[in-house]
Amino acid sequence: MANTAEQQRERFTNFTPYEMKKGEEYMSDDMLQHFKGLLLQWKQELMEEVDRTMHHMQEDAANYADPSDRATQEEEFSLELRTRDRERKLIKKIDKTIDRIDKDDYGFCDQCGVEIGTRRLEARPTATLCIDCKTLAEIREKQTGI
Ligand SMILES: [Zn+2]
């Protein structure tokens, strides 16, 4: 089971929800652009975060002479490195998603082909499964213990 910090990281909340126009088709050009903009903004924020972490680590690196301080610092660093690793993976996932938008292959469930839905995609723009398939996948994951 993913931890909560990771789950929160996979959410992006800083956006204006998309309002469908009357008679507008699901995943119209406007809608695709909306999600692309959202993903680009999210990626930007993540990259700034990675930058901040790196600077923070460089600044701190020289500041401790005491061995016990250094041990604590190493722990902190390894935690930050893990966070950065997660952020990098997420950025990769965002890039892949943007690529799918460009190929007009976005917003439908990879498993069953139904519309994933704008609200779900806004909560999780990198989602590739509809909520039903996702729930099923999670149940299977738990049963097989992977
Ligand atoms: Zn599905």
Annotated binding site: 109, 112, 130, 133
Q: How far is the CA of 131 from the centre of ligand 1 (A)?
A: 7
Maximum mean pLDDT: which of 1-10, 65-74, 80-89, 100-109:
100-109
Contact, 53 vs 61, CB < 8 A?
Answer: no
pLDDT at 6 over 70: no
Residue 144 Cα, ligand 1 centroid: separation in angstroms? Answer: 20
Q: Has residue 4 got a pLDDT over 50?
A: no
**Residue 124 Cα, ligand 1 centroid: separation in angstroms?**
15
Radius of gyration of the chain (CA): 19
Ligand 1 geometric centre to CA of 115 (Å): 8
- At 37, is the pLDDT very low, low, confident or very high (cuts 50, 70, 90)? very high
- Continuous segment of H or E residues that includes residue 86: helix 67-102
pLDDT computed for residue 7 by the predictor: 47
